[in-house]
């Protein structure tokens, strides 16, 4: 019972993180502050539940400055590298 409960929590946590990251990117233009807040909440959940993010989700934000990744605006992906245009962070992407 406990084990399945734990699994359930993990799924709910990943769902919420994905939703927060999506929302954060959506409102980035209209409200940068709130967008950032969403990312902070999402990141706190990652830490708290030690959630393993799927690769697709990892690409959606910069883990250094926690900006949502909007291609061509806050981020670039060039020759296998993720490049954050906000803080300049570069990370190799798994192919
Ligand atoms: Zn960054």
- pTM attached to this predicted model: 0.86
SS (H, E, C) 3-61: HHHHHHHHHHHHHHHHHHHHHHHHCCCCCHHHHHHHHHHHHHHHHHHCCCCCHHHHCCE
- Dmax (CA) for the chain in angstroms is 46
pLDDT, tens digit, 9 for 90 and up, residues 20-31: 999 999 999 999
CB-count exposure of residue 88 (10 Å: 0-12, 13-18, 19+): exposed
Q: How far is the CA of 69 from the centre of ligand 1 (A)?
A: 8
Q: How far is the CA of 26 from the centre of ligand 1 (A)?
A: 17
Q: How confident is the model at residue 45 (pLDDT cuts 50, 70, 90)?
A: very high
Q: How far is the CA of 74 from the centre of ligand 1 (A)?
A: 8
Q: How far is the CA of 6 from the centre of ligand 1 (A)?
A: 32
């Amino acid at each position: 019972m406990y084990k399945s409960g734990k699994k359930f929590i993990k799924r709910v946590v990943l769902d919420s993180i994905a939703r927060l990251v999506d929302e954060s990117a959506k409102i980035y233009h209209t409200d940068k502050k709130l967008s950032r807040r969403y990312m902070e909440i999402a990141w706190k959940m990652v830490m708290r539940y030690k959630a393993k993010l799927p690769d697709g989700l990892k690409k959606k934000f910069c883990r250094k400055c926690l900006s949502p990744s909007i291609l061509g605006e806050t981020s670039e992906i060039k020759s296998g590298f993720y490049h954050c245009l906000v803080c300049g962070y570069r990370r190799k992407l798994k192919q």
